[in-house]
């Protein structure tokens, strides 16, 4: 196995381990009931100070919520591409390997989201339409940081014109940064929720990259 692949395996394991340790830390360190309806959160002193610093900006929350449809459109587009290849090539195994891996990756992202909706670590620092909602890890951060980087990897190999490629990838990178920062300053998540979303999504993206790169010659 190439040294690069071994390094990528190490990075991937390290990211998942960091996410697990971060999650455990949130459940046991400085846990205080500082949220709505007496809901508790770890790292309460820091989270509380950061939340007071940023305040709550529901307009940013609404904007980032609606813009969250853009990553879903990219995911749908690649799903359609895979379906078209399946119909044209008449064999599941003849669909581009990277598209098959991407499909598996999407399933893993959805499973991660559903898991933390079922097993709630903590709730949002604000009520949404009068209700407490699960807040860890930030689902929008998870969505954007999983779908957009993998979409950029796909487009990097599929767009032939270098100028067009650079412009599109730059715009997608700016959009991704805007979404994460917007979610952070909107005040609808604790700071630790964003960090958890970043750690989990980067681990998942590294796993996608690792599996794709192991057999990239198959496409």
Its domain, for residue 202, covers 3-218
Q: pLDDT tens, 82-112?
A: 999 999 998 888 899 999 999 999 999 999 9
State the Cα–Cα distance between residues 118 and 126, nearest whole angstrom: 19
Sign for the pseudo-dihedral over CA of 155, 157, 161, 166: positive
E-state strands within 23-143: none
| Segment 41-70, tens digit of pLDDT | 999 999 999 999 999 999 999 999 999 999
Residue 23 CB neighbours (<10 A):
18
Question: What is the number of structural domains in the chain?
Answer: 1
Mean pLDDT over all residues of the chain?
93
CA-to-CA distance for 57 and 183, rounded, in angstroms? 10
Environment class of 175 (CB within 10 Å of its CB; exposed 0-12, middle 13-18, buried 19+) = middle
CA distance 21 to 25: 6
Residue 140: per-residue pLDDT: 93
């Amino acid at each position: 196995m190439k040294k690069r692949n071994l390094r990528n395996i190490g990075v991937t394991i390290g990211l998942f381990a960091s996410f697990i340790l971060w999650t455990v830390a949130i459940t046991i360190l400085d846990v205080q009931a500082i949220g709505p309806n007496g809901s508790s959160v770890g790292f309460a002193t820091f989270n509380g100070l950061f939340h007071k610093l940023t305040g709550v900006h529901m307009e940013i929350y609404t904007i980032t919520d609606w813009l969250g449809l853009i990553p879903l459109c990219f995911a749908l587009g690649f799903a359609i591409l895979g379906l078209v290849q399946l119909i044209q090539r008449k064999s599941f195994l003849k669909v581009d390997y990277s598209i098959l891996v991407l499909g598996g990756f999407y399933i893993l992202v959805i499973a991660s989201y559903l898991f933390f909706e079922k097993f709630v670590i903590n709730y949002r620092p604000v009520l949404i339409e009068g209700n407490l909602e699960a807040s860890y890890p930030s689902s929008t951060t998870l969505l954007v940081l999983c779908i957009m980087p993998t979409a950029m990897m796909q487009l990097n190999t599929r767009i032939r014109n270098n100028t067009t490629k650079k412009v599109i990838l730059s715009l997608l990178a700016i959009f991704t940064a805007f979404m994460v920062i917007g979610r952070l300053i909107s005040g609808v998540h604790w700071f630790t929720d964003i960090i958890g979303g970043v750690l989990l999504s980067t681990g998942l993206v590294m796993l996608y990259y690792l599996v794709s790169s192991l057999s990239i010659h198959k496409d």
